[in-house]
Structure 1
Amino acid sequence: MTAPDPIRVLLADDLILFRRAIAQLIEEEADLEVVGQASNGLLAVEAALALKPDVAVLDVEMPVMDGIEAARRILAALPETRVVMLTVSEDDDHLLEAVRLGVHGYLLKDLAPAELFDLIRAAMRNENPVSPALVGRLLAAVRAGTPPPRPERADAEGPALPQRELDVLRLVADGLSNKEIGVRLSITEGTVKNHVHNALAKLDMDNRIQAATYVVRHGIGLPRRP
């Protein structure tokens, strides 16, 4: 059986040593391949348009053009490319804006290389990985009244979702992967993916992070907070 093509990755970070070190480690993974590197957001956009990578891993803080604006342009021009953001701090103020844009993952730079590789793979599976510390900050902002990632729907409670889809979204909000959710709910990973897909369609949202924050924002299917 022919092995699947490796996931083609574009790396953008202005810290040359960090970027090259990550690139070298990625090249050691049989299913991952670095097809380009960039030192700022503008060069990242240009490289993405030329190379059409499967995943673009962008540092948030870069010169000339920051990672958020680069993500905006890449997502607009290349909807099939998954965009994963890297940040140095869980206090990053760009988190909500990135979620609004529909990025496919948001990770802290202090994670181990193996974790980064697994999360790149997760982005290709549309699992929208987010570092647990950032999930907590995101949901805290939502509960505190920060505007949700997408405009409010006319019906404040949103569309009715089956209890199982709500259960899945709550676990997504806790930062669990599809595999972990399947184990927790005693269902297959494929069934989890179907529930997430159906929930996104009903909520008219782009990714699972947006759906999870919407559920938390409105308390849909959750116990009432005192």
Structure 2
Amino acid sequence: MATEQSTTTGQAARIVVIDDHRTFAELLAAALNREGDLDCVGMAHGVQAGVELCFELSPDLVILDYRLPDGDGLQAAEQILARAPDTRIVMLTGDPNVHAIQRAASVGICGFLPKDGALDILLDVVRGVRTGEFVVAPALLSRLDLLGRKTVGPGPSLTGRELEVLRLMAAGQDVSTNARALGISTHTCRGYVKSILAKLDAHTQLEAVVAATKLGLLGSP
């Protein structure tokens, strides 16, 4: 069953929380509503209920658990993004694995975090992905790296500058921040990102980071 929360006025991001742990969902909703720029407008506890609630409320952002009683969160994400592709989705998991992160990248999820992470980090990520950033927790990237190196041979050839941009992408920074860090224009940085995506046969920056990690291009965790 889904329950709708009261909304606030202004430009606060409208957020739906989908998690089968009701206490966790309620605590997270309360934490979001304490922030002036964030507003939890509804909660659901399964794939079907969550998708229906998102179709009803059209939230700006969804915080979604990976494991749900009637399926996994990626199934919900696929349905939500098929109908509302501009929706930002941050996925939480208590049991990270390489396959889930790979699927998340291909689906178009823009944040993937451990469920037991700090609330402050989650709030920062939620604000970041609103502006187009993507984030994968470093601990999850490290796990990807350790698993990926065992199975993948030599990858595509990236220039030194492309590798620098790729590492900054993996840190979860946006293009403007990366451009300033490298002392180049935003336009030039976007060009490097486009080249990286083409070489790694990726459609999104998150998908590129996943592919690069599997190929061992990001070095040691």
Give the alignment's TM-score, normalised by structure 1: 0.77
The DSSP-based 3-state class of the residue aligned with 1:89 is: coil
1:50 counterpart residue number? 56
1:18 aligned to 2:24? yes
2:71 counterpart residue number? 65
Write the distance in 2 (CA, Å) between the matches of 1:206 and 1:212.
11
1:166 aligned to 2:163? yes
Moved over 4 A (4+): 160-163, 179-184, 190-193, 216-220
Write the distance in 2 (CA, Å) between the matches of 1:132 and 1:62.
24
Write the distance in 2 (CA, Å) between the matches of 1:139 and 1:111.
20
Q: Which region of structure 1 is more displaced relative to structure 2, 51-60 or 179-188?
A: 179-188
Change (3 A) 1:91 1:213: closer
| Cα contact 2:20–2:69 (8 A) shared by 1 | yes
Among 133, 149, 173, which residue is 1:177 paired with?
173
1:95 aligned to 2:95? no
| Cα contact 1:128–1:207 (8 A) shared by 2 | no
Write the distance in 2 (CA, Å) between the matches of 1:125 and 1:197.
17
Change (3 A) 1:41 1:130: same
Structure 1 residue 187 displacement after superposition: 5.8
The alignment covers a number of residue pairs equal to: 210
Write the distance in 1 (CA, Å) between the matches of 2:21 and 2:205.
30
Q: Which region of structure 1 is more displaced relative to structure 2, 57-66 or 193-202?
A: 193-202
- Any unmatched runs of 5+ in structure 2? 1-8
Write the distance in 2 (CA, Å) between the matches of 1:180 and 1:13.
32
| Cα contact 1:11–1:37 (8 A) shared by 2 | yes
2:145 counterpart residue number? 139
1:211 aligned to 2:208? yes
Structure 1 residue 47 displacement after superposition: 0.9
Structure 1 residue 217 displacement after superposition: 4.6
AA aligned to 2:77 is A
AA aligned to 1:166 is L
RMSD, matched Cα: 3.3
> Percent identity at matched positions?
31
| Cα contact 1:13–1:38 (8 A) shared by 2 | yes
Give the alignment's TM-score, normalised by structure 2: 0.78
